Amino acid sequence: MLAGGASTRPALVTFDCTGTLFEPVARIGVLYKRAAVAEAWKASLARAVAAEALDEDALSAAFRSAFAEADRERPCFGAGACSSEDWWHPVVERTFAAAAAESAGCSEDALRPLLPGAFRTLYHETFVSRAGWRLRPHAADTLSALSAWREARPASETDLKVGVAGVEKPSAELFARARGLAGVAADARCLHVGDSFSRDVVGAGWEALFVCSAEQRAAVGGEALAAVEHAHLESLARLPALLSLGEQPEARGGAHQPSAPVRAAS
């Protein structure tokens, strides 16, 4: 589906960011517990003992639930109706509250005084800074290979002002806007690469590359996978070869193709 000569390569390649190009430096539960423990030690030994009792798996599960609840209540990170901090604050509070209820030796009451400091650590010092993120395996090499072939122009849902525009994946409108920003014709071949079947593969409505493990594919289910044409790889390492980037476009037929962008859209 994806491989071929220069004339058949996509005019635009976009990437999901979180989970595909980069990821948190540690599991969510680890980062949340680390923030709570650090804040607890500033208060008292009793608070520190309670924070240390937080279960990391319970924190991770509670975060997923709290994030989904906030997304239902205020889609698109509030769509301009609230600040980013205001959107994330209840997510953090609900995560700690739910995890405390599932962690022996901890309680919501013990954690409540720690929340303002823990939120500052998580929001400002972790997730809104480089300190909280790392590149996924092979991401840098893959982007380097693609940018040598095409002009790379970083863009993301933030650049497209999802919170203001009120649109996010899997809305087809977001992908249409990405196409427009790239200056790519409506009938041109476009490829989106991501790790979410519903938001990236189905959402784009383009040719799609599902970057996932065998376990992730099994979780989606054979019927759903078969319903949407797509390719899949277990890592980004093979993407340049899949797009036949071993040769530059002009080496395949002699004509140099116009530069087209590679974009990252989270």
User: pLDDT tens digit string along 229-255?
Assistant: 999 999 999 998 888 764 433 333 333
Peptide bond into 261 cis (omega under 30): no
- Give the range among 60-64, 71-75, 171-175, 191-195 with minimum mean pLDDT: 171-175
Percent of the chain with pLDDT over 70: 81
Write out the two tokens for 123.
Answer: 């929001």
Write out the two tokens for 92.
Answer: 């953090």
User: What span, in angstroms and rounded, lies between the C-alpha atoms of 63 and 125?
Assistant: 18
**pTM, rounded to two decimals:** 0.81
Q: Looking at residue 254, what is its pLDDT?
A: 33
User: What span, in angstroms and rounded, lies between the C-alpha atoms of 243 and 247?
Assistant: 10
Domain ranges of the chain: 6-21+136-264, 25-133
| 25-133 placed in CATH 1.10.3720.10 | no
The CATH number assigned to the domain with range 6-21+136-264 reads: 3.40.50.1000
